[in-house]
Amino acid sequence: MKILSIQLENFRSFTEASFQFHDTTIISGHNGAGKSTLAEAVVWCLFGTDIAGRQKQDEKLMRLGAKNMAVTVTWLIRGATVVISRTRGSRQSSTLLVNGKRAQAGQIEGWFGTAEEFLSVFVPGFFSSLEPKEAKKVLSRCVPDIPKEDVLARMAPEHAAIIHRDQFVMGLDSIEFALQKVRQELKETEEERIRLEGQCQAYQSVLRRGAPQPYVPSVTEEERVRYEAAKRELIEHEAVHGHRKERLRDLYARRESLGRAFRALRDSLPRADTRCHTCGQPLPQDKADRILQEVERKRKASLAKMKEMLEEGNAVLAEIATLESLPDDASPHPELVEFVQTMEARLKDEHYREVAYAAQVRAYEQAKEHFTQAQEDLQATAEHLEGLKQRLQALQEFRFEYLRAQHEKLNGLFHHVSIHLMDVNRETGEVRETFRIEWKGRPYRLLSYSEKIRCDIEIGRALAQAKGEAMPVYVDNAESVQRLMEETFSGQVIAAYVADGPLTVSKMPEAQGA
């Protein structure tokens, strides 16, 4: 695959620009002219990241003051022209199109791999800047898968037997998933073991103390009876003295009401009148007798009502006299109050003791019932935990041997590069996982800039070869790399040089001559 052209709109310092690319392309210009911007535009167009692979950098990549940006890269992929464009408008997300249609899930990764894989080939220096874990992941995804049987044959037999039935259909990703799953189960099982150990210890402690002694109340039945009587007396005292004034006020009002009603009834007692109201002559005897009888009946009823009022009035007067005779100090007897308070404190303590005793009985019965089962569960959990630890060791060894076998294949693709994945302690023979890059036998950190670029070009070439795809390489500061074009490139070469002048993108003269 190779880049045919790039179109920019409001990207970095470019308002609008278009550039054509060749098999060997030279980019030249003064510092700040936008040479590195072209490489970053390619990366952002494909993956939405900056040239360091960082997400959510759109605001920094967009031209200052602009509200949208777009990058379109035309590629030649496996003999077909493919136009890939990414646009970012006022919204917080960008849109990726392939030949004018929304990109399908995994379509870009299918051509270019992940952002880390593509950058490891496209930008010399990116791979060597990765953390060891990420670098190993890039290598593992570029190198062909290793058959499970080949890896098992390299392992200790006891570990190989543990996982020989496991399926790792996705290579290193499946192994990592299996390791993560075992670690999580190991953590949960360890927590369960700690819980069961604590449970067994608690049961043992309860059983060693033996069954609780029978509960003996500290408050006698006689004391309870006295307490109830004293409490009732205090309640009655409170009922009497607590409402004395209100009761007296009601009684005074009732006395006045009864007095008024009694006097009114007394003054209205009926009298017999046996004379004619018109002429004043005596009425006939039979009519006079009827009047006398009716008056007598009403008089008797009034007298009976007056008697009731008098009796109620006497009762009110008696209650008033009783309440008025009570002393102003309505406090109950201090000894009675002290006795009730003391008994309430003792009864409260008694309740707590009863609750504690019931809890001790339940704990003892539970310990007798569940201790044996808890011991068996603890033993089973400990055995399961040991099995998980052995499984974890087996998976770790499988992963280690898988990486070693995989990268032995990768190192076979190198001429001057060596990637070390393990160190052996000469004294103990212990093998420790590591990650170290060497070029012509020298550590990467000791290489010159020119040598580092050559080392990274070789690594990128091997990664592209392992993927079976010729990919473009962008070399920045190419003037610092001695005899750059003497290197072997598997695909398109884009070299950026610092020059005294504006940005230019052209075909390399030597390539034109060829």
Task: Show me where the domains of the chain are located.
Answer: 2-144+436-513, 239-332
Q: What is the mean pLDDT of residues 453-477?
A: 90
DSSP assignment, residue 427? T
* Helices assigned H by DSSP within 155-171: 157-163
pLDDT greater at residue 390 or residue 436: 390
pLDDT in the model for residue 336: 87
| Share of residues in the chain with pLDDT > 70 (%) | 95
Contact criterion met (CB below 8 Å) for 478 and 459: no
The one-letter amino acid at 113: G
Angle at the Cα of 506 (from 502 to 512), degrees rounded to 5? 145
pLDDT digits (tens, 9 = 90+) for 229-239: 998 888 777 76
Alpha-carbon torsion 451, 493, 461, 112, what sign?
positive
Cα torsion through 337, 343, 349, 355, rounded to 10: -120
Nearest to 85 by CA among 108, 119, 64, 66: 108
Decide: 129 and 150 in contact? Cβ < 8 Å: no
Predicted confidence (pLDDT) per residue in 128-155, tens digit: 888 888 888 888 776 767 889 999 999 9
The torsion angle over the Cα atoms of residues 509, 511, 512 and 514, rounded to 10 degrees, is 130
CA distance 406 to 203: 53
Taking the C-alpha atoms of residue 127 and residue 502, their distance in angstroms, rounded to an integer, is 30
Between CA 212 and CA 46 the distance in angstroms is 76
Q: Which parts of 391-485 are beta strand (E)?
A: 417-424, 431-439, 442-443, 473-475
Which helix (H) or strand (E) covers residue 76, if one does? strand 69-77
For the segment 73-89, the average pLDDT, to the nearest whole number, is 95
DSSP state of 123: S
Residue 360 near residue 212 (C-beta atoms within 8 A): yes
Distance CA 393, CA 183 (A): 11
- In angstroms, the CA 226 to CA 342 distance is 12
Look at residue 434 and give its three-state secondary structure: strand
Q: Classify domain 239-332 at the CATH class level.
A: mainly alpha
Paired tokens of 255:
């006395």
Confidence at residue 421, expressed as pLDDT on a 0 to 100 scale: 73
pLDDT in tens, 324-346: 777 665 677 788 889 989 999 99
DSSP letter (8 states) at residue 213: P
Predicted confidence at residue 512, as pLDDT, reads 42
DSSP tag of 93: S
In whole angstroms, give the CA distance from residue 499 to residue 511.
Answer: 20
What average pLDDT does the structure give for the chain? Answer: 88
> Is residue 395 within 8 Å of residue 175, measured between CB atoms?
yes
Distances (CA, A) of 89 to 16, 56, 378: 16, 14, 61
Interatomic CA distance for residues 193 and 189, integer angstroms: 6
For residue 405, what are the CA distances in angstroms to 157, 410, 411, 442?
17, 9, 10, 23
Residues 399 and 179: beta-carbon distance below 8 Å: yes
Residue corresponding to tokens 């039945």: 221
Q: How confident is the model at residue 436 (pLDDT cuts 50, 70, 90)?
A: confident
Per DSSP, helices labelled H in 268-333 are: 285-325
Return the pLDDT at 247: 78
Partners of 6 in beta bridges: 19, 73
The rounded distance, in Å, linking the Cα atoms of 471 and 131 is 23
2-144+436-513 CATH fold = Rossmann fold (3.40.50)
Question: Helix (H) and strand (E) counts for the chain?
Answer: 15, 13
pLDDT value at 122 more than 60: yes
Does the predicted model carry a pTM greater than 0.85? no
Distance of CA 84 to the CA centre of its chain: 39
Q: Is 324 helix (H, G, I), strand (E, B) or coil?
A: helix
What are 8's strand-pairing partners? Answer: 17, 71
Residue 21 pLDDT exceeds 60: yes
pLDDT band at 511 (very low <50, low <70, confident <90, very high): very low
Q: How far apart are CA 249 and CA 370, in angstroms?
A: 69
Instruction: For tokens 């002694």, name the residue.
Output: 213
Tens digit of each residue's pLDDT (9 = 90 or more) over 198-244:
999 999 999 998 998 888 888 999 999 999 999 888 877 776 666 77
Dump pLDDT digits (tens) for 481-499: 888 888 888 899 999 999 9
What's the confidence (pLDDT) of residue 513? 38
Of 417, 480, 468, 462, residue with least CA distance to 120? 462
Cα torsion through 39, 40, 41, 46, rounded to 10: 100
Sheet of 431-439: strands edge to edge? 417-424, 431-439, 442-443
Q: Is the pLDDT of residue 514 over 60?
A: no
Query: For residue 407, what is the enclosing H or E element?
Result: helix 334-411
